[in-house]
Amino acid sequence: MRFLSLTALAATLALVSTLPAEARQVRKQADFVKALAGKTLTAGNSWLILSADGKIKGVTGKGDKITGLWVWNKRFMCRNVYVGQKQLPQDCQTVSIDGDTVTFTRERGKGPANTFSF
């Protein structure tokens, strides 16, 4: 009986150690800049760089140029970007970091999410 309990405990610990860490929501501009500014964020063939001075640049998976600006507003990263010649609607997004991935959730955390590696 004791062997089964130890085996179950070992299996549980092995499973828990392989689970990803819980994502933490970024709530302050200083934390956002420290974690992400100047890093290349990638998702498939797309990439973005958000600079500390509020600029956004990148390329979509289809090769369209991404340009724009971001500002921090309370606990949201608000962005105004162009993809090619098309201006996207301004949007404020929550930002969550989990290890070496970041997730931006549109519409103040209530919309679709995009996850990037860095």
How much is the pLDDT for 31?
97
Per-residue pLDDT of 27-86, as tens digits, reads: 999 999 999 999 999 999 999 999 999 999 999 999 999 999 999 999 999 999 999 999
Residues in a beta bridge with 79:
70, 91
- For residue 57, give the nearest of 43, 67, 45 by alpha carbon: 67
* Lowest pLDDT segment from 3-7, 33-37, 101-105: 3-7
How much is the pLDDT for 52?
98
Q: Are strands 113-117 and 76-83 parallel, antiparallel or unpaired?
A: unpaired
Q: Three-state SS for 33?
A: helix
Tokens standing for residue 57: 């640049």
Q: How confident is residue 4, by pLDDT bands cut at 50, 70 and 90?
A: very low
- Alpha carbon distance 29, 79 (integer Å): 13
- What is the pTM for the complete model shown? 0.80
Contacts of 76 (CB under 8 A, 6+ apart): 92, 93, 94, 95, 108, 109
- Most distant CA atoms of the chain, gap in Å: 69
How much is the pLDDT for 21?
59
